[in-house]
Amino acid sequence: MTVNWYAHYDPSFPTAIVGAILFGTVGFVTLFQFFQKRCWFWWPLVLGTMMEMAGYIARAPSSKYTDNKNMYIVQLVMIILAPGIMAAACYMAMGRLILHITPPSHLRFRTLWVPARFITPTFVLFDILSFGIQLIGASVIASASIADFDRAQRGSRIVEIGLAVQLICFGFFSFVAARFSFVAKRWESAWPGREWLKLLYAINVACAIILLRSIYRMIEFAGGRDGYVRTHEWPFWVFDSFFIWCVLVVFTIFHPADFLPNVGLRKTVVKRTDVEGTGGHEMLSSRISVAN
């Protein structure tokens, strides 16, 4: 009897080819922009994109040879874990954006709900925790045989826990990021232009998409091996593949390097002082570097 690692459906080979082409294309564009714009802090998105690209390239032959366990595991692990790394890119971009446009008097917990300097490390720490848990779960699933249902189920439960951590953390971050769109209007007169709003909206859109994708994955794993989501292929292509591809397209169009002055590995924080002038508020600025 032929083994099918996809269990309840025969994956579409033509669709897998299209997925590999789309992610391969956006992957090369992302990598090109990374070096062209020298946006070194953006490496988590580049890494996540490369993982997605590897996952879909592996899914193409895996869809043709469904009995090949190694190909199946590569595409499973890469595609499940990559969005968590992309989330870290959102944290880093948001942290730098807040430090770039917020006056010192508003860089406080009461305004932002998270200390400005700790936005990136706080959320990245929980992201690493979520990533680690999902990696353990994916490893358990990978080590299970096709007939070892109990072991595969344990792995799925572990992945669920990791996704739950990601949902809570990323959900709160998404709320903070969306709230900042309104909070920042308090110091609109001190904004360094308005172009940065495009990046803020791009981050908010990406957060919403990744959040919806995480909810889909939670439903998939919670539904079990015989659930509708696990036994049909179309939800995967719509709620994971298409959603994440849209995130990558958004960030190729609205790249952080086009809106932020500080795109190196170390943050350049603008130290601002409000000065009352004849035309209103003026900003005196100096720059210092701090760890990412």
Q: Are 267 and 289 in contact (CB under 8 A)?
A: yes
Domain extents for the chain?
A: 13-265
Q: What is the pLDDT along the chain (292 residues), one digit of tens a residue?
A: 466 777 678 899 999 999 999 999 999 999 999 999 999 999 999 999 999 999 999 999 999 998 888 899 999 999 999 999 999 999 999 989 988 888 888 878 777 787 767 778 888 899 899 999 999 998 888 887 776 778 888 888 999 999 999 999 989 999 989 999 888 988 888 888 889 999 999 999 999 999 999 999 999 988 887 889 988 999 999 999 999 999 999 999 999 999 998 787 766 555 554 444 433 344 444 444 444 5
Residue range 142-184, pLDDT digits in tens: 887 776 778 888 888 999 999 999 999 989 999 989 999 888 9
Question: Which fold does the domain 13-265 belong to in CATH?
Answer: Rhopdopsin 7-helix transmembrane proteins (1.20.1070)
Provide the 3-class DSSP secondary structure of residue 172: helix
Contacts of 56 (CB under 8 A, 6+ apart): 16, 19, 20, 22, 23, 24, 75, 79, 241
> Which among 117, 62, 96 is positioned nearest to 265, based on CA atoms?
96
